[in-house]
Amino acid sequence: MGAGIAIVAARGGFNTISYDRSQEALERSHNATIAFFEKSVERGKMTPGERGRTVKAMRSTTDLDVLGECDLIIEAVFEELSVKRDLLRALDAVCEPRTIFASNTSTLSITEIAAGSKRPHKVVGMHFCLPAQLMKLIEMSPGLLTSEETFQSAWQWTLACGQIPVKTQDKPGFILNALLVPFNNDAIRAVEAGVASAADIDKALKTALGYKMGPLELIDLIGLDTQVRLSEAFYPITLDGRAAAPPLLRRMVAAGLLGRKSGQGFFRYEGEAMFGA
Amino acid sequence: MHYAIIKAGESPSFPDGDPFLAAGVAVSQAEAVIYLAGAKLAHNDAKSVVLVELGNESLGEHTGELLGEEGSNVVGFARYRNGLDAPSSLVELVVQSRTPQDAVAAARSIFEAAGLVVAICTDQAGRIVDRLVRPKYNAALRLLDEGLAIQKDIDLTCRLGLGYPDGPIERAVRGGLVHHHDITKALFETYGTPGYAPARRAVVAARRRES
């Protein structure tokens, strides 16, 4: 996710530094980024000159102190409150007071994350959609203590990058996941209740509503284990029964049926081909 | 496959003027009989399949039920439409536990020959689409009431973030909030789970209709 966000920033004309503790991870991201730009030029989405300028604007580091020069830092670290708070605490020590901290969290509270920093008025939610380098939408959420100036600066930054921001309150799942996680669980419960096969459920929703992807195909893409984690993040906060992980989902994860990445979830995958399970 | 049509009014699945209606033949010449718009079902074992158009009700209300042993050549169906929108190309085909496979195949062939897409489901309230999308529309309407975001941004987020052709609120409103209310109220009465309880804005629309 971080690599995609870095592409958005650099493509928007901003000098961009990618930080990771692992040099190997940075190299992997760099190679993927170069390959993405190659494709972009091939497809006419970017000129060779733009590619050159964008690549030149990007660098990477394993040294957190290097981030001290940044005006805006967007974190996309592991989705756990303590991890994000620890990072903000470390950044407090190296960054100028003007620096804005943005969190790409999809499930955690911006206000709770900001409590890990000495500058909660400088912390804002910026939830990018996967894959960040292709998706225009960013859900922008102020925490309880976020200043209007911080929010507006971050908002203007997204516009300068050619993204489309929407403002949401700091509530679990913001807009997208608040609607999607329970909906996906409902689709799993429909399979479990014998309403229809996974293939017929997806076919019905795609045909009736014009969705590009059915919910069960989408869960296979996200990963069934990720759907469990999302449910476990939402349910204790919202106590919405629809957000609770369905028993079938847990059984499938226990059986190693994780979706595309394991070769089988609600559907079976052989190479790029998809077969009804 | 030749089919006969018996109708009691305008069908939501095949409104007047739909070419599907014009292709119907006399019952004596048909291998299948299709009952539309609440026409009273008459069983006919001689036919490959007898199709009954469903609204919000279960197929079992037409056929009777036998504690899980029900099933005959009577198959339910509904062409999905979002209230006031034109019918989609989806036909939800409703089967019972002992519905013969040849009746299902006959039903499928009739609709697929008309260029429609068939999804098969069991006889449960809301079938596939309404069972899944109505709680989402309720949730979106509640998020609007709670001030999570403005309507335009809730819909835009779903379009841009999920690739939907339209957002949940604009879709519910376009189909009719009263229509949404009636469906989700029927589902709530069946399932009793809070997700189906009609959202406040749908209740308001329904009460204004009544007054």
Q: For the domain that residue A213 is a member of, what is the CATH number?
A: 1.10.1040.10
Q: Which listed residue (A29, A109, A139, A184) is catalytic?
A: A139
Task: Identify the domain containing residue A117 by its residue range.
Answer: 2-167
The whole-angstrom distance between A255's CA and the closest CA on chain B is 26
pLDDT category at A172 given cuts 50, 70, 90 is: confident
Tell me: do A218 and A154 sit in the same domain: no
- Would you mind telling me the total number of residues written for chain A in this entry? 277
Q: Which of B45, B90, B53, B34 is nearest to B71 (CA)?
A: B45
pLDDT category at A271 given cuts 50, 70, 90 is: low
- SS3 (DSSP) at A41: helix
- Which chain B residues touch A208 with a CB distance below 8 Å? 80, 82, 88, 90, 129
Q: Name the domain boundary from A138, A167, A196.
A: A167
At B142-200, the pLDDT tens digits run: 999 999 999 999 999 999 999 999 999 999 999 999 999 999 999 999 999 999 999 99
A221 touches chain B (CB under 8 A): no
Q: Which residue has the tokens 């291998």?
A: B31
Can you tell me the distance from the alpha carbon of A121 to that of A138, in angstroms, rounded to the nearest whole number?
20
Helices (H), chain A: 2-11, 23-42, 48-56, 81-94, 110-114, 148-160, 176-192, 198-209, 215-222, 224-238, 247-254
Can you tell me the distance from the alpha carbon of A185 to that of B126, in angstroms, rounded to the nearest whole number?
16
User: CA B121, B126, B127 angle in degrees (round to 5)?
Assistant: 10
A121 assigned to active site: no
Tell me: do A115 and A216 sit in the same domain: no
With 80 as the cut, is the pLDDT of residue A57 above it?
yes
Task: Given the cut 0.90, state whether the ipTM is greater than it.
Answer: yes
Tell me: do A153 and A195 sit in the same domain: no
Does a cis peptide bond (omega within 30 degrees of 0) precede residue A97? Answer: no
The whole-angstrom distance between A273's CA and the closest CA on chain B is 21
For range A52-69, the mean pLDDT: 96
This prediction has a pTM of 0.92
Contact A178, B143 (CB under 8 A): yes
- Which chain A residues touch B91 with a CB distance below 8 Å? none
Can you tell me the distance from the alpha carbon of B110 to that of A59, in angstroms, rounded to the nearest whole number?
61
| Structure tokens given for A176 | 């997208």
Tell me: do A192 and A97 sit in the same domain: no
Q: Are B121 and A174 inside 8 Å of each other by CB? A: no
- SS3 (DSSP) at B96: coil
Between strands A273-276 and A267-270, the pairing is antiparallel
- How far CA A107 is from CA of A222, A231, B75, B154, in Å, comes to 15, 10, 44, 17
| Mean pLDDT of all residues belonging to chain A | 95
| Residues 113 through 142 of chain B touching chain A, CB cutoff 8 Å | 117, 119-122, 124, 127-129, 131-133, 135-136, 139-140
With 90 as the cut, is the pLDDT of residue A1 above it?
no
Nearest-by-CA chain B residue for A142: B148
Report how many domains make up chain A. Answer: 2
Q: What is the pLDDT of residue A275?
A: 40
At A239-249, the pLDDT tens digits run: 999 999 999 99
The whole-angstrom distance between B40's CA and the closest CA on chain A is 26
Tell me: do B68 and B137 sit in the same domain: no
Tell me: do A42 and A140 sit in the same domain: yes
Task: Identify the domain containing residue B170 by its residue range.
Answer: 131-210
Best residue in A158, A183, A211 for a mutation probing chain B (most B CBs within 10 Å): A183
- Would you mind telling me the total number of residues written for chain B in this entry? 211
Tell me: do A197 and A139 sit in the same domain: no
Q: Name the domain boundary from B61, B87, B122.
A: B122
Q: Are B90 and A194 inside 8 Å of each other by CB? A: no
Tell me: do A82 and A181 sit in the same domain: no
Cross-strand partners of B32: B3, B49
Report how many domains make up chain B. Answer: 2
Q: Name the domain boundary from B74, B96, B122.
A: B122
| Structure tokens given for A175 | 């807009």
Q: What is the pLDDT of residue A130?
A: 85
The whole-angstrom distance between B176's CA and the closest CA on chain A is 16
Nearest-by-CA chain A residue for B92: A204
B191 touches chain A (CB under 8 A): no
Contact A233, A182 (CB under 8 A): no
Can you tell me the distance from the alpha carbon of A165 to that of A128, in angstroms, rounded to the nearest whole number?
9
A127 assigned to active site: yes
A192 touches chain B (CB under 8 A): no
